[in-house]
Structure 1
Amino acid sequence: MNFEFYHRWLALYPLITQLIAAVAILLIAYLAYFITRRYILHLLQTLVLKSRFTWDDLLLDPVIMRRLAYALPVIIFYNSAVLFPGIESIIKQTAYLGLLILALILAGSFLTALNNLYESSQLSKGRPIKGVIQITKLFLYIVGAVIIISILLGKSPWYFVSGIGAMTAVILLIFRDTILSFVASLQISSNDLVRVNDWIEVPAFGADGDVTDIALHTIKVQNWDKTITIIPTHKLIDVSFKNWRGMQMTGGRRIKRSIYIDQTSIKFCTDDMLSTFSNFKLIRQYIADKKTEIDAYNAQRGFDGKDKINARRMTNVGTFRIYVESYLKQNDKIHQGLTAMVRQLPPGPEGLPLEVYVFTNTTDWIAYERIQADIFDHLLSVIPHFELQIVQNPSGSDFRALLGNIEVNV
């Protein structure tokens, strides 16, 4: 009796009936969202954590979890549209569009989580896929936008696709940088030009530091002064850049520095000088062997000790060069498996460059600078023992000494 009364009353007031139904559906949808978010997804997370596979860790992403919870309420709205005959088609279309947008957002979140999972693996160090992920997301969003617009306008998606040909020039103009960046990303990845954590120098952009991120449109470089340089991906292919990865993989960093010797201090070695040099342990054997070799050469050709021009004689700069070579060979901070030499470069106004070209056995910057400084500290200190002088522009003390001598003479 009471049920029939309420039924007749609701029939007399359909608006109130639909309002009650709408409130009930909202409550059911919220309850479904709450149960899904609090219990179902929590159970799914527990199962994933217990799994021995790593690929299913994608589902642990909190963004994916949160957005998955919206799926069930939208489905409830779609199926309850029959309760509202007047606006059934609008509700279904809105719910359908909501599901489509949610699917696109979930696909984007899944691809982002996939890239994050990939970057946590060792494989990503040599083959970053962030650019590919971004272009895939862009393609999905464009396709989704075409489908959504076609639903709203009641047209077939092919209707809009067919018009793309006429808009090719506009599309190329709009997506020019994206297309160029995508091609550049493929080149960088396939040719293994740059990886995350590589040390690169790009003079055109003032970049000198570690690569922190390789994306579709940009490459981030953290310079040594901790500033960040952003380089367009396609621009990196257009300009010259230096990648120091080879040095880091080899395990040695190059020292290439010259000492400029005053050419007026270069001379033949006297017996007293050779006697002094023989006391230097690093070249003691060299002095003995070289004297034997030179004496035999001169005796064979009839040169005596008085012939100072034609006879072979040792020089202080040549002996110093051998000393530097011996010093570097016995230095345990020098990589002996890589090129190590001491060479003379063409003389010039600055003097005779004597270049040290070796590799340290470490690539650490601080250790490298310390090793390099120690080597040249020693070489600069030992040069006077070979009666050689370093080229140096005159300083204030030099001018004061010169003026003092002039005053004394006057």
Structure 2
Amino acid sequence: MELLTDSQSQIYNWTFQWINKLGLDNQTNHFINSIVLLLLVVLFLFIVDYFSKKTLLLLTIKAIRRSANRFDDLLIRNKTLKLIAHFVPILVAQYIIPIIFMGFPNWKENINKLLAIATTVVSLLIIHSLLKSIRDILRTKKSFADKPLESYLQVCQIIMYFIGGTICFSILTGSSPWSFLLSLGAASAILMLVFKDTILGFVASIQVSANDSIRVGDWIEMPKYGADGTVKEINLNNVKVQNFDKTITTIPTHTLLSDSFKNYRGMQQSGGRRLKRAINIKISTIRFLDNEEIERLKHIQILRAYIEDRAKTIDEFNRIHQIDPSSPINGRKMTNLGMFRAYALAYLRQNPQIHKTMPLMVRQLASTEHGVPVELYFFVNDIRWEYYEGIVSDVFDHLFAATKYFDLEIFENPASDDFRQFVRKQQINVLN
């Protein structure tokens, strides 16, 4: 048994004499004495831990509040100072342990090992807290705001856990850390299988960061996983996407390399959001325009210059080729569909909410059983979703209403009213 100081001996002997009055054998008295002292010490250590944290915070919080540096604020938020305060009860425990287990010297070595492990664990927690503070301060930097810092932190965590586990194993067994590492070499195949997803996620995080294929804050779409929203977090194992319906979709990080996804960052950076949508025109309503209709359409201001220029071009062509005007099909003529396309293009060009430096066209696609598609292709200069949808709706509201002025009809499948009107006409014809 190691020699104790006089104060330590007096404490142990005083409690031992008090328990000895129970009339039990000497070994049992030592055991009960150690248990009682252990309970008292645990209570005392909790009190020491509580007051050490309070004292440390009181001594540092005033200085931190006066400081303009944000890093010390993050140390408090990530509980770094509280973790440092845990060293105080550990040091107190190392001093008191010889008193408690004075009658059981063999236990003392094992308790010291546990205290050494506790010191290692607290040290790792402090390092982890410091890394979290560094991560948080880097997030405030513009150059790191969209980087997968969470993945880097998790890689550091894995390295720390590995080092801490090695140290703890060495403390428990009393063997060199190198022997533990050599034993891991034999089990490397099993470890590779167990940590397969982690390793794949680690590699994917590095490649995603190096290729800049995805950042925090990007709008991505990955139909395979039902993801359509903003990237909130990129960590070692998964990517968290907040969909537009406020649900959260979790995507394995390594799938960003193996599966395809759509990133709308280019659209957001360009300042314009594309619209590609068609209006289906009923084919039976497409026809040539006569002179009276052309004159009437000149009252549409944004079409007047186009009609006058187009009329000159057509008249010159027909005159040169000596076209017979007795039949409307001879030569070149204006059509109500062509006039509507010209109007739609002019309307988009004069709309201040349409991007003028990006592609803008109104084109006719191949006819189908649903009529002739007149496709509008343009970019809205406001990429915010709600504003974009409002602008697009306004454009199509106007064009749907404008088709009537060109004697055109929008194609739609027959409704119940169409059948009722047809039946009424047939009944009228029969009665007549």
- TM-score norm. by structure 1 comes to 0.90
1:68 counterpart = 2:68: no
What letter is aligned with 2:71? W
Preserved CA contact (<8 Å) 1:119 1:128: no
Displacement of 1:268: 1.9
Cα distance in 2 for partners of 1:10, 1:55 equals: 48
Equivalent residues in 2 for 1:26-175, closer than 5 Å: 33-61=49-77, 63-79=79-95, 86=105, 88-175=108-195
Displacement of 1:352: 0.9
Aligned to 1:342: 362
Preserved CA contact (<8 Å) 1:267 1:316: yes
Displacement of 1:77: 2.8
Displacement of 1:120: 3.8
Residues 255 and 27 of structure 1, relative CA distance in 2, 3 Å threshold: closer
Of stretches 76-85 and 136-145 in structure 1, the one that deviates more from structure 2 is 76-85
Residues 21 and 396 of structure 1, relative CA distance in 2, 3 Å threshold: closer
Preserved CA contact (<8 Å) 1:111 1:137: no
Of stretches 239-248 and 400-409 in structure 1, the one that deviates more from structure 2 is 239-248
Percent identity of equivalent pairs: 36
Residues 148 and 45 of structure 1, relative CA distance in 2, 3 Å threshold: same
Displacement of 1:202: 0.8
Displacement of 1:95: 2.1
1:398 counterpart = 2:414: no
Write the deviation string for residues 20-43 of structure 1: whole angstroms up to 9, x where unpaired.
998997798667545532223322
What letter is aligned with 2:81? M
What SS does structure 1 have at the residue aligned with 2:373?
strand
What SS does structure 1 have at the residue aligned with 2:201?
helix
Displacement of 1:78: 2.8
Cα distance in 2 for partners of 1:203, 1:25 equals: 59
Match of 1:361 among 381, 406, 412: 381
Displacement of 1:354: 0.4
1:287 counterpart = 2:307: yes
Residues 55 and 155 of structure 1, relative CA distance in 2, 3 Å threshold: same
Displacement of 1:406: 0.8
Match of 1:326 among 346, 365, 384: 346
Cα distance in 2 for partners of 1:148, 1:304 equals: 102
Of stretches 154-163 and 231-240 in structure 1, the one that deviates more from structure 2 is 231-240
Aligned to 1:3: none
Preserved CA contact (<8 Å) 2:204 2:253: yes
Cα distance in 1 for partners of 2:16, 2:374 equals: 99
Instruction: Count the aligned residue pairs.
Output: 404
- The root-mean-square deviation of aligned C-alpha atoms, in Å, is 2.8
Equivalent residues in 2 for 1:256-271, closer than 5 Å: 256-271=276-291
Residues 31 and 265 of structure 1, relative CA distance in 2, 3 Å threshold: closer
Preserved CA contact (<8 Å) 1:48 1:59: no
1:246 counterpart = 2:271: no
Residues 147 and 11 of structure 1, relative CA distance in 2, 3 Å threshold: closer
Preserved CA contact (<8 Å) 1:126 1:192: no
What SS does structure 1 have at the residue aligned with 2:79?
helix
Write the deviation string for residues 46-102 of structure 1: whole angstroms up to 9, x where unpaired.
223323333333322252222211112212333555666735534432322211111
Aligned to 2:394: 374
1:177 counterpart = 2:221: no
Cα distance in 1 for partners of 2:285, 2:416 equals: 22
Of stretches 283-292 and 81-90 in structure 1, the one that deviates more from structure 2 is 81-90
Preserved CA contact (<8 Å) 2:56 2:85: no
Preserved CA contact (<8 Å) 2:302 2:346: yes
1:315 counterpart = 2:335: yes
- TM-score norm. by structure 2 comes to 0.85
What SS does structure 2 have at the residue aligned with 1:102?
helix
Preserved CA contact (<8 Å) 1:298 1:312: yes
| Structure 2 gap segments, 5+ residues each | 1-5, 18-32
Cα distance in 2 for partners of 1:334, 1:321 equals: 17
Preserved CA contact (<8 Å) 2:78 2:133: no
Cα distance in 2 for partners of 1:229, 1:25 equals: 49
Preserved CA contact (<8 Å) 2:146 2:217: no
Displacement of 1:15: 7.1
What SS does structure 2 have at the residue aligned with 1:164?
helix
